[in-house]
């Protein structure tokens, strides 16, 4: 029962800063179909914003010449919202290190992206392969309202 | 979209933000504020966050970057009007200990 997808949205968009806001607004809209508090919706927005920002900034980085795409898959399960963010960029050499607080390749950045994702979501899983890309799968649990 | 409005008050660079402070807004914030700091030579910044509905680590990073810049000159970063969801992000990032927070612009300016 748990594995049954009740709703799904797939998005594919160019890796540009402007689309980060679109992705988190879409995530918030998708999350709004279940009974969550405003705080929980805000948490999803931050987590998705971080994952998509990472794909734009680090996944594809300076490679602005090509048309690079980011995919976001949003799944609704019984009691669980899942967000999968996929890029086909340069990948992460050391995932353990990248997930540490204050790890950042840029002094202007805080290295808190993964900290927020971990704090705000109930599940997070990162898969990455150099020169192949990175997939971040996150999920938030909720108590489903019993249907009468 | 992030709107950044700057003004000088009692020698303090007052920055009013409106909108979402993410990776997109961060670029706008950095350019506008750095230019204003260059032009005015202001040492202290008062940041009005009242109309900021969203912030993530990119937004925090760009604020921290400006703080590092003025801190080297002995300047302070004062923050007013944090919305609860934005305050939570500041808390989680440990920034409540670094910046000084006030309830109003008048109160903040008095403390300098």
What is the CATH classification number for the domain harbouring A35?
Answer: 3.30.565.10
Per-residue pLDDT, A103: 62
Number of structural domains (chain A) is: 1
Lowest average pLDDT, out of A57-61, A93-97, A110-114, B93-97, goes to A110-114
User: Could you tell me the pTM of the whole model?
Assistant: 0.93
Complex ipTM: 0.93
Residue pair A47/A117 in contact (Cβ under 8 Å)? The answer is: yes
The answer to whether position A146 is within a domain reads: no
Question: A-chain residues within 8 Å CB-CB of B20?
Answer: 21
Catalytic residues of A: 50, 54, 109
Residue pair B62/A81 in contact (Cβ under 8 Å)? The answer is: no
Per-residue pLDDT, A144: 84
Coil, helix or strand at residue B67: helix
Per-residue pLDDT, B33: 98
Local structure of residue A125 (DSSP, 8 states): E
The answer to whether position A37 is within a domain reads: yes
CA distances (Å), A25 to each of A20, A45, A53, B89, in order? 9, 7, 14, 18
Nearest Cα residue in chain A from B30: A108
CA distance B102 to chain A (A): 23
Mean pLDDT score, A127-138:
97
For residue A35, give its domain range.
Answer: 7-141
The answer to whether position A19 is within a domain reads: yes
The answer to whether position A120 is within a domain reads: yes
Give the span between the Cα atoms of A119 and A106, in whole angstroms: 22
Question: A-chain residues within 8 Å CB-CB of B22?
Answer: 20-21, 24, 49, 53
Rg over alpha carbons for chain A, rounded to the nearest Å, is: 15
| Contact: A112, B93; criterion CB under 8 Å | yes
The answer to whether position A68 is within a domain reads: yes
Which residue ranges make up each domain of chain B? 2-97
Is pLDDT at B60 greater than 90 in this prediction? yes
Give the span between the Cα atoms of B21 and B1, in whole angstroms: 8
Pick the CATH number of B2-97 from 3.40.1390.10, 3.40.190.10, 3.30.750.24, 3.90.1150.10: 3.30.750.24
Per the prediction, chain B carries an average pLDDT of 95
Per-residue pLDDT, A147: 60
């Amino acid at each position: 029962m748990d594995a049954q997808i009740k709703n799904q949205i797939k998005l594919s968009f160019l890796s540009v800063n402007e689309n980060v806001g679109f992705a988190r607004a879409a995530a918030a809209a998708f999350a709004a179909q279940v009974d969550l508090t405003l705080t929980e919706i805000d948490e999803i927005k931050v987590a998705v914003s971080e994952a998509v920002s990472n794909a734009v900034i680090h996944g594809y980085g300076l490679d602005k010449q090509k048309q690079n795409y980011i995919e976001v898959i949003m799944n609704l399960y019984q009691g669980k919202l899942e967000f999968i963010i996929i890029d086909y960029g340069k990948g992460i050499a050391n995932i353990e290190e990248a997930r540490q607080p204050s790890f950042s390749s840029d002094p202007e950045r805080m290295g808190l992206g993964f900290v927020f994702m971990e704090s705000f979501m109930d599940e997070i899983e990162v898969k990455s392969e150099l020169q192949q890309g990175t997939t971040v799968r996150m999920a938030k649990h909720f108590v489903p309202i019993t249907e009468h | 979209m992030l709107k950044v409005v700057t003004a000088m008050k009692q020698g303090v660079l007052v920055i009013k933000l409106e909108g979402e402070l993410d990776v997109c807004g961060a670029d706008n914030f950095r350019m506008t504020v750095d230019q204003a700091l260059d032009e005015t030579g202001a040492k202290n910044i008062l940041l009005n966050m009242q109309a900021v509905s969203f912030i993530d680590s990119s937004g925090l990073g760009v604020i921290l970057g400006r703080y590092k810049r003025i801190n080297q000159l002995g300047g302070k970063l004062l923050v007013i009007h944090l919305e609860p969801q934005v305050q939570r992000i500041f808390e989680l990032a440990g920034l409540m200990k670094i910046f000084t927070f006030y309830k109003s612009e008048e109160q903040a300016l008095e403390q300098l």
